Structure formats: C-alpha cells, structure tokens
Amino acid sequence: MNMHSPSNNMKGDFDLSQSDFERIAQVAKVGWGLNLDKAKRPLIKSRLMKRLRALELPDFATYCELIEAKDQNEIGHFITALTTNVTSFYREAHHFEYLENGVIPDLIERAKQGERVRLWSAGCSSGQEPYSLAGSLLSFDKQASSYDLKILATDIDALVLEKAKRGAYPQDDCTFPSPSHESRILKPDADGSQREVHEALKSLISFRHLNLVDQWPISGKFDVIMCRNVAIYFDKPTQARLWSRFRQCLQPNAHLFIGHSERIADPDAIGLKVAGTTTYRPHPMTISA
C-alpha cells in the first residue's frame, strides 16, 4: 500500500522549484558525489517526474523527503534517473585495440605463469564494458578463466548491475566493430528479442555495487582500470581525488583508461604519465625537497 496520498497531477506537469532542486542536488552530491549543475534542472525535472507519477506523489517536495530519508526502495531509481547509462560493446574501440596490441598478451602470459592478474571496470553500467574485456582476454586464451585472472565490475546503480549480471541484451543494443567481435561475446541468434553473452565471459567477472566516493573494500592492486565517462558526473575536486585513488590502486606497469571527454589535469603530480589517448600509466612521483 502506498504511504502517500495519490497525486491529482498524474498526467500533468510538476513544478521543480529552485529550493527542491537544491535539495535534490545536495543529496546527490553528499551521497554519491554527483554534481548537478543548475543547467541540468530541466533534465532532472523530466526524469524525476516519472518517479513522482510511479509513486503517486503530489509534488517534488514530498519526493525530496523520500530521498533525504534514503528510502531503500527508491534510491536505486533515483540514481538511475540522475545518471545516463549509455554504453555499448567495445565502446571507444581505440582502448581495446591498445589493450589487445600491447597489454593483454603480457597479462595472459603472466597469468599462465601463475601470477595474479586483475582488471577493474569502474562504472560498468549494464555490463557491456566488462564483457568486452572478457571477450578480449578469451580471444587470446580460451583457458583464461582457469588462471588467477579476474575482472571486477562495479557500478553505483544497483538496477543496471542486475541487468549486467543477467548478460542478456536487446538485439538493437548489440552492435560491434566486426562480426568476429560479436561472436566473442554473444551466443548465436536464438528465438526471441534478447541476445545472451557466452557463459565463459561471466566466469571471469565479479559484479559488485560500489559508490566511488565512499570507501573501497578492495584488496590488492590492478593491472588495468577502466573508468570511462564516469568522472563527468563529478566536480573538479572530486575528480582529482578519484584519479589519485586510482593511482594508488595500480600495479607498477598497469594502465588507467578514462573517457573520451575526460582529462587528468596534472597527471605527473599524482604519479601518472600519458600513454595514449585518455590512457595513463604510473610512474614514480618526484618528491620536492
């Protein structure tokens, strides 16, 4: 039973006042580091109106009370509405070309020798990125899942993580750079509108819910971190802290990949060097006297 009185505005418009927008922005910033610029107010209003109607709430003020109380039934929908889960298989293909040409062969060889190898897809959305990573690894060695080689896939949005775990996608979402890339990832066409990923890919991936501005319950360092088109939701200070934290999680010869619209302002200051387009590697930091 709905705790709130049904709205008389089920099909109409809702007024998102400046004060209500500021309340929403405050919750988003404090809870998840999301930076909601005032220019985004019309977009936020449009997206959250769907939640007001679904919950039969009378106004945005009532919705603000709900999210300020961190209502567990609504927080997932709130995060989904504030973020754009746009992704695709082998998105920003130059990163995967870089990996396959100069990184993955070494990772596979090290894993064969019994070394621990870890990759992290931070902000994995509905799963296409980690599945693409797994497909690249398995294309070099079909036995990759038998080594100490794993992909950690995390996201702030618990709802899209459930979709990622299922590994089933509408046909319209299944575009690839080539047919060979498609065959790496997806089972042959089946009846119905959904395409499923190969089970071997799932065996390489652990999906976990993680808020990047909170503590990271992570042990060990990574050989590859992909955090692409996530930092765009953060303000500059939060971005800087994120890049620095990633640097501390990198193995000495590791790689950090970020989104096409993102840049690390002063990589040298945190011990990173540019290795390619939106691609970074660690180097020892020079400590001033």
Whether 91 sits among the annotated catalytic residues: the reply is no
| Token pair belonging to 139 | 């294309």
Q: Which of 150, 92, 110, 129 is nearest to 279 (CA)?
A: 92
The residues that bridge with 209 in the sheet, in sequence order, are 155
The Cα 63–Cα 50 span in angstroms is 11
Q: 141, 155, 157, 223: which one is catalytic?
A: 155
Contact indicator for 49, 14 with CB cutoff of 8 Å: yes
Count CA within 13 A, CB hemisphere, residue 218: 25
Q: For residue 36, how far is the Cα from the chain centroid? A: 18
Q: Which of 57, 122, 117, 55 is nearest to 87 (CA)?
A: 122
Contact indicator for 203, 236 with CB cutoff of 8 Å: no
159: which DSSP letter? H
Whether 110 sits among the annotated catalytic residues: the reply is no
| Token pair belonging to 94 | 């130059």
Residue type, 118: R
The Cα 221–Cα 46 span in angstroms is 41
The Cα 166–Cα 16 span in angstroms is 36
CB contact set of 74 (below 8 Å; sequence gap of 6+): 51, 55, 66, 67
Tokens 């997206």 belong to 47
| Token pair belonging to 108 | 């596979």
Active site residues: 47, 155
